[in-house]
């Protein structure tokens, strides 16, 4: 397999803290799936969904919030922790790395202000 220039662009996108969702489009049989699989090597975990295959199709309308969908696809690796602040406020923490990965600094700021 040969190196593709688009991988460098995808790595720049990954490292951008202000990144937006990414949509990879192109004609049939040009290597989109290959590029995604190569790019996935830059992540510890990833989820591959091929919505053209009926057995992989999910009805996204059944999920009112992104957290519900994340829990559904993350399956058995989900961990839930409960913490309490010094003033007695309780929080539930979900171990969903892909859900918070892009905004972890905002999450930390929020937690520090809430404690």
SS (H, E, C) the chain: CCCCHHHHHHHHHHHCCCCCCCCCCCCCCCCHHHHHHHHHHHCCCCCCCCCCCHHHCCCHHHCCCHHHHHHHHHHHHCCEEEEECCCCCEEEEECCHHHHHHHHHHHHHHHHHHC
Per residue in 57-79, pLDDT (tens digit) is 555 566 566 556 665 655 555 45
Average confidence (pLDDT) over 41-49: 76
Q: How far from the centroid of its chain's Cα atoms is residue 53's Cα?
A: 21
**In the chain, what are the domain boundaries?**
1-43
pLDDT in tens, 85-107: 677 777 666 555 544 555 556 65
Look at residue 98 in the predicted model and tell me its pLDDT.
47
> What pLDDT does residue 115 have?
53
In the prediction, which pLDDT does 6 show? 87
The answer to whether residue 24 scores a pLDDT higher than 70 is yes
Average confidence score pLDDT of the chain: 70
């Amino acid at each position: 397999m040969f190196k593709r220039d688009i991988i460098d662009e995808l790595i720049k996108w990954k490292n951008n803290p202000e990144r937006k969702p990414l949509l990879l489009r192109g004609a049939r049989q040009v290597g989109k799936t290959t590029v995604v699989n190569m790019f996935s090597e830059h992540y510890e975990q990833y989820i591959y969904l091929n919505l053209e295959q009926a057995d992989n199709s999910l009805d996204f309308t059944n999920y009112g919030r992104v957290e519900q969908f994340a829990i559904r696809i993350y399956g058995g690796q989900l961990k839930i922790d409960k913490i309490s602040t010094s003033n007695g406020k309780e929080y539930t923490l979900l171990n969903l790395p892909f859900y918070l990965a892009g905004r972890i600094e905002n999450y930390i700021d929020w937690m520090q202000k809430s404690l």
